[in-house]
């Protein structure tokens, strides 16, 4: 069943857990994620990257994910991730996305606020007041779609971290329903051990009641993800490890399936198994 993202996340936080969100570049991965969620009896979030949404078949994929969410046996939300283009956001919502991360984190502070407010006004004016908005404050290193290594922001200059002193003003003025934060997390693979800034996260958590979001969770130890969930992090995004697991299966099995008469169905089944196993592990971790 499709669920409002903010309600799904708030419900998890009330139970002391968080909801995993998985970037789905294709329908096979999305099917696997929903299958794992149904088996676990827990909700999940299907993410669509902005480059995917902007591709010629992006709207069709979003519509397919919306249909998958509608028919799921557990609460599922569909979110456009890291979007800064208002036209892309409106197109994704029209295709079926029910939430969006309006990402103005690379902009000056006031411009970030203005972008989120403008998107909210556009959505409301088009009858989409029920679309949930996540915003981002602070800058995450790395590349969301490619697994290049990046230093954790916790070991980099503090400018990349979320400024906890801005949180109350930012949330109040944007009306964001979730807040993505930079506390040492990065997109892609970590170079060395991730070092989350628990002091910064704790300071943010006491300054706002809305759920917090941790992007770049791939590579962060399970016990730290559980600790973050106890500090008002109600949504945790996964991408890199999911892609890595799927690609490892493809590298290992493509030759075998060619020898087996180019057995694409079997290969897609193993692709789905890899995605489902990763999603199941994430769901178990965040349910602790």
Degrees, nearest 5: CA angle 42-46-48: 170
**What are the pLDDT digits (tens) for 195-214?**
899 999 999 999 999 999 99
Tally: H helices and E strands in the chain? 11, 10
pLDDT score, position 185: 86
**How long is the chain?**
288
Collapsed DSSP state (helix, strand, coil) of residue 55: coil
Whole-number Å distance between alpha carbons of 234 and 156: 25
Query: What's residue 156's pLDDT?
Result: 41
Q: Is the pLDDT of residue 157 over 80?
A: no
Contacts of 35 (CB under 8 A, 6+ apart): 272, 276
Place of tokens 């087996």: 260
- Residue 82 · residue 100 · CB < 8 Å: no
Q: Which residues are catalytic?
A: 81
Q: Supply the CATH number for residue 148's domain.
A: 3.20.20.70
Helix (H, G, I), strand (E, B) or coil at 34: helix
Query: pLDDT averaged over the chain?
Result: 90
H or E stretch at 164? helix 164-174
**What percentage of the chain has pLDDT greater than the value 70?**
90
Question: pLDDT tens for residues 77-111?
Answer: 999 999 999 999 999 999 999 999 999 999 999 99
The residue that leads in pLDDT, 211 or 246, is: 211
Confidence of residue 263 (pLDDT cuts 50, 70, 90): confident
The predicted pLDDT at position 192 comes to 56
Domain holding 182, by residue range, is 5-286
The helix-helix angle for 58-71 and 86-95 (nearest 10°) equals: 40
- What pLDDT was estimated at residue 142? 46
Provide the pLDDT confidence category of residue 191 given band limits of 50, 70 and 90: low
**pLDDT over threshold 50, residue 169:** yes
Rounded CA gap, 213 and 215, in Å?
6
Alpha-carbon gap, residue 180 to 134, rounded angstroms: 7
Provide the phi-psi class of 262: left if phi over 0, else alpha when psi is between -120 and 50, else beta: left
CA atoms within 13 A on the CB side of 108: 2
Q: Is pLDDT at 59 greater than 60 in this prediction?
A: yes
Question: Mind listing the pLDDT tens digit for each residue in 223-236?
Answer: 999 999 999 999 99
Answer yes or no: are the C-beta atoms of 60 and 53 closer than 8 Å.
no
pLDDT band, residue 144 (cuts 50/70/90): low
- Short-list 79, 103, 93, CA closest to 236: 79
Q: Give the chain's domain count.
A: 1
* Across 45-65, average pLDDT: 98
137: number of CA atoms within 13 Å, CB side? 26
- The answer to whether the predicted template modeling score (pTM) of the entire model surpasses 0.85 is yes
Q: What is the pLDDT of residues 24-33, one digit of tens each?
A: 999 999 999 9
- Tell me what the mean pLDDT of segment 215-229 comes to: 89
- pLDDT of 143 higher than 70: no
- pLDDT at residue 148 in the model: 40
């Amino acid at each position: 069943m499709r669920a409002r993202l903010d309600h799904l996340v708030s419900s998890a936080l009330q139970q002391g857990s968080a909801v995993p969100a998985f970037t789905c570049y294709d329908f096979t991965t999305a099917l696997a994620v929903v299958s794992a969620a149904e088996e676990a009896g827990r909700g999940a979030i299907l993410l669509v990257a902005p480059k995917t949404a902007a591709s010629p078949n992006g709207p069709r994929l979003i519509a397919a994910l919306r249909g998958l969410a509608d028919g799921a046996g557990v609460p599922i939300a569909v979110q456009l991730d890291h979007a800064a283009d208002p036209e892309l956001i409106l197109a994704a919502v029209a295709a079926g996305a029910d939430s969006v991360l309006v990402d103005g984190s690379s902009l000056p502070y006031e411009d970030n606020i203005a972008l989120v407010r403008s998107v909210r006004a556009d959505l409301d004016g088009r009858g989409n007041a029920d679309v949930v908005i996540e915003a981002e404050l602070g800058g995450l290193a790395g590349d969301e779609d490619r697994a290049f290594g990046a230093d954790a922001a916790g070991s980099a200059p503090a400018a990349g971290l979320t400024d906890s002193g801005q949180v109350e003003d930012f949330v109040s003025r944007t009306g964001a329903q979730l807040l993505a934060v930079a506390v040492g997390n990065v997109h892609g693979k970590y170079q060395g051990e991730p070092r989350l800034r628990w002091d910064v996260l704790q300071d943010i958590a006491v300054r706002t009641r809305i759920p917090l979001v941790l992007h770049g969770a791939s590579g962060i130890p399970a016990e730290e993800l559980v600790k973050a969930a106890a500090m008002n992090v109600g949504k945790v995004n996964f991408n890199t490890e999911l892609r890595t697991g799927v690609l490892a299966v493809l590298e290992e099995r493509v030759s075998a399936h060619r020898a087996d008469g180019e057995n694409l169905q079997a290969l897609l089944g193993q692709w789905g198994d890899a995605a489902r196993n990763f999603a199941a592990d994430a769901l178990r971790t965040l349910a602790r």
